[in-house]
A = this chain, B = another copy of it.
């Protein structure tokens, strides 16, 4: 067991804080941010804040307006669609890789994440179910052992969680959510790489269309409000 103790620099800590505020909507889309304002708020220097904002820029959560400041990025329907199609491609690859290297440890972790999803899907609110859904896919990416894939997935994680948070009404039917994921998990656990890949890809593709429909209602108001 590695006692990693994780020394975290101030800029990464601030990035984490701001990221959470954006994902949770506390900082709304389009909201303007200035380096000095955040620096005052956190009692840190501008350089540190600047570094944190640059991190979030890479993740697509804020836009940099040269010499004018920063703004929380807008989450358009197009963005959500694009992110969903990227998830499809990446998660399908992950599913294939996990199936190819499945063992007891991985089965255990996979089942744990799936159980959590079942729990949340049945008893809890839609948003928590959506988060459990994301966690399950995150788990497969982790288990794939593909470092570059994992890094990429994390990089888009903020934006994905953001539209998940926004579109929590996506999951109307918990049982359906479970039914959709069960065959994927089965395929991975049985080591059928081809099938795992195919199912994971199709699942996300289908969800993509539903997502766009769903977000249209939630976002169209804000889009016109500019």
- A contacts, CB < 8 Å to B: 7, 9, 47, 51, 54, 58, 60, 66, 79, 82-83, 85-86, 88-90, 92-93, 146-149, 151-152, 155-156
Contacts of A156 in B (CB 8 A): 148, 152
Cα-based distance from A58 to B154 in the complex (angstroms): 12
Q: So how many copies of this chain end up in the complex?
A: 2
Q: B86 to A152, Cβ gap below 8 A?
A: yes
CB pair A82 B149 closer than 8 Å: yes
Query: How many Å from the CB of A65 to the closest CB on chain B?
Result: 12
Which interface residue of A47, A86, A88, A89 has the most chain B CB atoms within 10 A?
Answer: A89
Min CB distance A48 to B, Å, is: 11
Query: Do A148 and B93 touch (CB < 8 A)?
Result: no
Interface of A, secondary structure class, is helix
Bound-state Cα–Cα, A88 to B201, Å: 14
Write the chain B residue with the least CB distance to A64. Answer: B9
Q: Is the CB of B7 within 8 A of A79?
A: no
Within the assembled complex, what's the spacing in Å between the Cα atoms of A104 and B90? 30
Chain B CB within 10 Å — which of A82, A88, A151, A152 has the most? A82
Q: How far is A88 from B89 in the complex, measured between Cα atoms in Å?
A: 10
B146→A85 contact, CB < 8 A: yes
Q: A9-B66, A89-B90, A152-B155 are in contact. List 8 more A-B contacts (CB 8 A).
A: A51-B51, A60-B151, A82-B147, A82-B148, A82-B149, A86-B149, A89-B92, A89-B93
**Given A7-B66, A54-B51, A151-B60: A146 touches B89 (CB 8 Å cut-off):** no
